[in-house]
Amino acid sequence: MALVGGSRPYPTHTKLGRIMLKRGLRAYKVAAEADVYVRSMTDYLAGRKKPSPRNMAKLAACLGVTVPDLTEKKYPWLKEDQDALTAAQTVNEPVKEKVS
């Protein structure tokens, strides 16, 4: 589900997006209040970037939540986390025997 209104809808698969949707907040308004670039905000909502610790703290303060409330356990849609996940799965896979 995505929030629609004055601009394009944004994804709600992140904790940040779900909190904003629940409160009816627009990305540009939260970005302005938290002093975060709008482009960075849309990247965070789309899952293209992880917020820096500094921006995460600004967003948490702006939304009145704690940083852990916004922090994802994993960011599987980001390449570095997907690579780490794939490597961990490969290590745990049973060895396949070759059939002659």
pLDDT tens digits, one per residue of 26-47:
889 999 999 999 999 988 888 7
CATH number of the domain encompassing residue 72: 1.10.260.40
Q: Please tell me the total count of domains within the chain.
A: 1
Residue 36 resides in a domain? yes
Q: What integer pLDDT is reported at residue 4 of this predicted model?
A: 46
Q: How confident is the model at residue 91 (pLDDT cuts 50, 70, 90)?
A: low
User: Is the pLDDT higher at 11 or at 32?
Assistant: 32
Residue 64 resides in a domain? yes
Domain that holds residue 38: 15-92
Q: What integer pLDDT is reported at residue 14 of this predicted model?
A: 83
Residue 6 resides in a domain? no
Residue 77 resides in a domain? yes
Residue 41 resides in a domain? yes
Interaxial angle between packed helices 53-63 and 27-34, expressed in degrees from 0 to 180 and rounded to the nearest 10: 110
Residue 8 pLDDT > 80, yes or no? no
In angstroms, the CA 21 to CA 64 distance is: 15
pLDDT tens digits, one per residue of 59-88:
999 999 999 888 877 665 556 655 655 665
